[in-house]
Amino acid sequence: MLEHLKEQPADKILMLMQSYREDPRENKVDLGVGVYKDASGNTPVMRAVKAAEKRIWEDQTTKAYTGLAGDPAYTSGMIDLVLSGAAPKERIAAVATPGGTGAIRQGLELIRRAAPDATVWVSAPTWPNHPSIIKFLGMKMGEYRYFDDSTRGVDFSAMMSDLSGISTGDVVLLHGCCHNPTGANLSDAQWDEVIALLKEKGAVPMVDIAYQGFGDGLDADGAATRKVAAAMDECLIAASCSKNFGIYRERTGILMAIARDDKEAKIAQANMNFLNRQNFSFPPDHGARIVSTILGDPTLRADWEAELEEVRLSMLGLRQQLADELRQLSNSDRFDFIAHHRGMFSQIGTTPEKVETMRQNNGIYMVSDSRMNIAGLNAETVPLLARAIVDARV
């Protein structure tokens, strides 16, 4: 049997991580993997997470299974965090999932069960797991243009032109904030236009919100998702706790489905429970328990929000420092877009060959499409990256 399996292409980011580990240079810089790093290059455990884990260790009396949908305190807390009352709770079905990736996978499987002929539209570019999972599931996929390579911002006219061709019942996958990989976000007015078009076409939005709190703040980063949830009859939302709670390895995510009414929500809930059962039975609980403990305790929540704000401001400071450094070295404002982007990532806009040049000559490790993790920098490595970009004639 196993002899019939075919070799699979290696994951580019995992290959990049391996090359970085094997590089003996002391001044090498890892901008590939999407995790937050502090000024010392560590990915710390947040204070509130440590406190919540200690409380769980002291108070927890069982490791018995949770329900198929996960701990109700977790799903309820996450619905409040992401949606903040944007849709009535009786219209919302929700299940805990193994990370944001698990939420995307379960959401796509739900779409396949409900509308097997629907086309799922993704931005070009988008997070590589989006098209990978869609193709793996054998679903129809379309792309809409999103990023303007010349301005390094959203190409909104092209986006709207492509979305004008969607059909009734199609699904449009949108990034709720901090677009991955570009860092370029829609404005409030542009979100309104997208929502109006989706309503006109009878399409269903699916929002991936993996970086709430990393861009303009918890509430501001949730605003677009709440706009969509409030305006649409139906909506899917996949959210992750990996980044904003710093619990990457705990694999903590949630899938929400907003239905037309409470009756359809109950049916959606039953189907989402069923999909959890088929794919992994009960969802993991430790990360979810950490999140619900933090969200349910005013003191822990305040400390978590304060530290998350520190993380956000740190990334904004690094963005501004890099933009300033590049302006000085290049005697040009063409890299100012870096300070305007939001979240962990930006695409600087260059060829795979120049990315490889920066790796070989300067020890700068970024994905070949020039996506770089801003959170992988610190005040000392920003000048190294700026010099590499200028020397490579990006």
Q: Is 247 helix (H, G, I), strand (E, B) or coil?
A: coil
- The model carries a pTM of 0.96
Q: Which amino acid appears at position 302 of this protein?
A: A
What tokens were used for 134?
A: 């869609």
Structure confidence at residue 13 (pLDDT)? 82
Sign of CA dihedral 219, 205, 100, 132: negative
The answer to whether the peptide bond before residue 352 is cis (omega within 30 degrees of 0) is no
Instruction: Render the burial of 299-330: b for 16+ CB within 10 Å, e for the rest.
Output: ebbebbbebbeebbebbbebbebbbbbbbeee
Neighbouring residues of 158: CB distance < 8 A, sequence distance ≥ 6: 144, 145, 146, 148
Q: Which amino acid appears at position 98 of this protein?
A: P
Q: Reduce the secondary structure of 32-58 to three states and give it as a string.
A: CCCCCCCCCCCCCCCHHHHHHHHHHHH
Neighbouring residues of 222: CB distance < 8 A, sequence distance ≥ 6: 81, 82, 83, 84, 176, 177, 209, 212
**Mean residue pLDDT across the chain:** 96
Q: What is the pLDDT of residues 20-39, one digit of tens each?
A: 999 999 999 999 988 999 88
Residues assigned a catalytic role: 127, 208, 210, 243
Domains and CATH numbers, the chain: 10-46+301-391 (3.90.1150.10), 65-296 (3.40.640.10)
CA angle 321, 325, 329 (to 5 degrees): 175
Residue 15 pLDDT grade (very low, low, confident, very high; cuts 50, 70, 90): confident
Structure confidence at residue 67 (pLDDT)? 95
CB 376 within 8 A of CB 37: yes
